[in-house]
Amino acid sequence: MTKKEIPKKWKAYQKICFRFAFICFLLFILLMDWSVNPILSQLYYYGPLSTLLDNLVTWVGQELLGISDIIISPYDGEHNDRTYVYLLYTIITVIAVIGSFVWSLVDKKRQNYQQAYYWLTAIIRYYLAFTMFLFALEKFFKTQFPDLGYYTLTERVGDMSPMHLAWAFFGYSYTYNIFMGLAESAALLLLFRRTTTLGALLTMATLSNVIVVNYNYDVHAKMYPTALFLMAFFLILRDVNRIVEFFISEKPVSLPAIKAPKFKQRWMSKAKIILKSAVIGYFMIYLIYDYTNYNKSINEDTSMKAKYLGIYDVNSFIINNDTLSMSDPARWNQIIIGDQLLEAIRFQEDSLAYIKSLAEKNEIIVYGDPTELAVKMQEIYNEKGLSDATWMQMDSILVNRQIASRFRFEIINDSIVHFEGSIKNDSIYLVAKRNGKAINSFRLMKRRFHWINETSYFY
C-alpha cells in the first residue's frame, strides 16, 4: 500500500469520522445484533446484557422521552423496527457522538489510525460475512420464506398486507431462494483482504435489493439492512476514487489490499493464520449446524401437524348454548391449521384471530392482535424475568390471565373435527369440516415453468 493511497497524516475530518464510525459500528455489533455470534447470544440471555440493555432503553424511553407505552424487547435474531430498537439506535448514536468528541480532545496529536482502521475493517468484514451467510442459510433451508400454505393460498390479494404479499412472492419458488442465497453468500469474499472490495460491492448490491423490498413492502426490518449497507460502504470508501476511475477513465487501476500489521516473531504470524482458520471454521460450522437443527425441528413440527393440516369450515358455532348465525360477527367461519407461515381463524370479511396449534396435545391456543399480545408478553417478562422457564410457561400464563384461550379438538372422522374451549367467561363448542382441497390443486401451485407459451398465461 503506497503512501499516496493512505497518507501517514490523516486530515482532521477523517480522524473525527473514523472515531465516530469506530464507536458506532462496534456498539451496533455488540448491542444490536448478537444473534450471529453464539458467544454474545449466551451473554445476552444468560448474562447481564439483556437486563442492562432493557433497563437502559426503558429508562431513556420513559424517563427522558416520556414514552408511556410498554417498550417491547427484541428476541434473538429479531430485527423489528420497534420502539426499543429505535431507542437503542439513538443511544448508540449519542454515545458515538460524545465518545468521538472526547476521543478527539484526548488524542489530538495522533497522526492517523492505521492499525485501528485495519482491525475495525477486519471486525466489520467478518461480521458482515457471517451475518449475510446466516441469511443465505435461511434461503437454502427455506425457513425465511416457507412454502405457500393454505392461509396464503386462500387469502384474497386485496386483504394481504404488503409484507405478506412479498413473502408469498418469495415463498413460491425455491429456485429463487437459492439464487438469493447465493447472492448473499458472496459476502464470504469479505473474509479475505484481497477480495474485500469485490465482496463489499456485491454485498451492497444484494442489500440494495433487500432495502428496496423492505421499504416498499413495509417489511418490519428497514433500519437493519440499511446499517449493514453502510458498513459495506465503509469498507469501499478507501477505494471509491479508484472504482470511479476504473469505470470512467481508460487508465489501468489497481485495488491494493489493506495491509495487515506485521509481526516480528514468526510464531505470531503462524498463530494469526491458525486463529483466523479457527474463527472461520467455528462460525461456519456453528451456523450450518444451528440451521440444520432448526430446519429439522420445523420439519418435525410440520410432520406432527400433517394429519391436521388444512382449512376447516365451521358448520356450527355454539357459545353459552346459543348457536350463532352465519352473519354474526363473533362467529368463526374458518380455521386454518398447520400452515408454516400463519395459522389463523377467519371471521367476517378480513377479520382474523391467530392460533398456535399443539398437535401433540390436540390443542390450539387462540389469541388476538399480535401487537397487543407482544405487549402482554413483555409485561410477563418484566414481571418474571427473561428466561427459558418463563418462555416454556408462556402459553399457560397467557391462558390463565385470559389473554389467550385454549381449545381442545377431537377428530371424529377424516373430515369432521369438534373444538371445545372458552374465551374469557364464555364456553364455546363448534363443529368444523375439513375442506378437501389439496395445496397442489390451486392454480398457482399447478402452473410451473414452461419453455413454450403460445400466449401469456395471465389468469
Q: Quick check: is 184 in a domain?
A: yes
**Residues written for the chain:** 459
125's CB contacts (< 8 A; 6+ apart) are 190, 191, 196, 199, 235
Clarify whether residues 97 and 236 are in a common domain.
Answer: yes
Clarify whether residues 361 and 343 are in a common domain.
Answer: yes
Q: Please tell me the predicted confidence (pLDDT) of residue 8.
A: 72
CATH number at residue 410: 2.40.128.20
Q: Please tell me the predicted confidence (pLDDT) of residue 339.
A: 87
Clarify whether residues 356 and 253 are in a common domain.
Answer: no
Q: Contact, 58 vs 49, CB < 8 A?
A: no
Q: Quick check: is 264 in a domain?
A: yes
pLDDT at position 429 over 90: yes
pLDDT at position 38 over 90: no
Region 142-165: mean pLDDT is 93
pLDDT at position 3 over 50: no
Clarify whether residues 216 and 332 are in a common domain.
Answer: no
pTM tops 0.85, yes or no: yes
Clarify whether residues 81 and 163 are in a common domain.
Answer: yes
Q: What is the pLDDT of residues 294-332, one digit of tens each?
A: 889 888 888 888 888 899 999 999 999 999 998 888 899
Q: What is the pLDDT of residues 341-396, one digit of tens each?
A: 889 999 977 788 999 998 888 999 999 888 888 889 989 988 888 777 888 899 99
pLDDT at position 225 over 80: yes
* One-letter amino acid of 171: G
Q: Quick check: is 118 in a domain?
A: yes
The DSSP call for residue 276 is H
Q: Please tell me the predicted confidence (pLDDT) of residue 127.
A: 93
Extract the runs of DSSP E, i.e. beta strands, from 84-218. none
Q: Please tell me the predicted confidence (pLDDT) of residue 4.
A: 47
Task: Copy the grid coordinates of residue 148.
Answer: 405457500
Q: What is the pLDDT of residues 400-412, one digit of tens each?
A: 999 999 999 998 8
Distance CA(429)–CA(315), nearest Å, equals: 11
Distance CA(334)–CA(315), nearest Å, equals: 9
Q: Quick check: is 455 in a domain?
A: no
Clarify whether residues 130 and 236 are in a common domain.
Answer: yes
235's CB contacts (< 8 A; 6+ apart) are 121, 124, 125, 128, 190, 196, 197, 200
Question: How far out from the chain centre does Cα 459 lie?
Answer: 33
Clarify whether residues 329 and 243 are in a common domain.
Answer: no
User: What does the mean pLDDT of the chain come to?
Assistant: 88
Q: Contact, 371 vs 383, CB < 8 A?
A: no
Q: Quick check: is 380 in a domain?
A: no
- Quick one: which of 231, 286, 232 has its CA closest to 32? 231
Clarify whether residues 255 and 351 are in a common domain.
Answer: no
Going by pLDDT thresholds of 50, 70 and 90, the confidence category of residue 108 is confident
Q: Contact, 14 vs 237, CB < 8 A?
A: no
The percent of the chain in helix, strand and coil, each rounded to the nearest 5, is 55, 10, 30
Q: 248, 276, 297: which is the final residue of a domain?
A: 297
Region 15-30: mean pLDDT is 94
Beta pairing partners, 408: 363, 420
Going 267 to 269 to 272 to 276, the CA torsion angle's sign is negative
Region 182-201: mean pLDDT is 95
Q: Quick check: is 326 in a domain?
A: yes
Q: 278, 297, 316: which is the final residue of a domain?
A: 297
Clarify whether residues 228 and 335 are in a common domain.
Answer: no
Q: Please tell me the predicted confidence (pLDDT) of residue 76.
A: 58
Q: Please tell me the predicted confidence (pLDDT) of residue 216.
A: 97
Q: Contact, 213 vs 166, CB < 8 A?
A: yes
Q: What is the pLDDT of residues 52-90, one digit of tens each?
A: 888 899 999 999 999 988 888 876 556 778 899 999 999
Q: What is the pLDDT of residues 274-289, one digit of tens each?
A: 888 888 898 888 889 8
Q: Please tell me the predicted confidence (pLDDT) of residue 100.
A: 95
The DSSP call for residue 28 is I
Clarify whether residues 314 and 339 are in a common domain.
Answer: yes
Q: Please tell me the predicted confidence (pLDDT) of residue 366.
A: 93
Q: What is the pLDDT of residues 229-250, one digit of tens each?
A: 999 999 999 988 888 888 888 7
Region 420-447: mean pLDDT is 91
Whole-number percent of the chain with pLDDT over 90? 51
Residue 347: give the domain boundaries: 306-368+404-444
* One-letter amino acid of 369: D
Q: Please tell me the predicted confidence (pLDDT) of residue 427.
A: 94
Work out the end-to-end distance of the chain between its first and last CA atoms, rounded to an integer number of angstroms: 59
Q: Quick check: is 450 in a domain?
A: no
Clarify whether residues 108 and 234 are in a common domain.
Answer: yes
Q: Please tell me the predicted confidence (pLDDT) of residue 434.
A: 92
pLDDT at position 5 over 60: no
Q: 297, 322, 345: which is the final residue of a domain?
A: 297
- HEC assignment per residue over 216-251: HCCCCCCHHHHHHHHHHHHHHHHHHHHHHHHHHCCC
- Quick one: which of 151, 436, 433 has its CA closest to 316? 433
Task: Copy the grid coordinates of residue 380.
Answer: 410477563
Q: Please tell me the predicted confidence (pLDDT) of residue 7.
A: 54
- Quick one: which of 23, 210, 20 has its CA closest to 131? 210
pLDDT at position 1 over 60: no
Task: Copy the grid coordinates of residue 93.
Answer: 448514536
How many domains would you assign to the chain? 2
Q: Contact, 352 vs 346, CB < 8 A?
A: yes
Clarify whether residues 323 and 198 are in a common domain.
Answer: no
* One-letter amino acid of 270: K
Q: Quick check: is 78 in a domain?
A: yes
- Quick one: which of 240, 231, 280 has its CA closest to 124? 231
Region 134-163: mean pLDDT is 93
Task: Copy the grid coordinates of residue 97.
Answer: 457522538
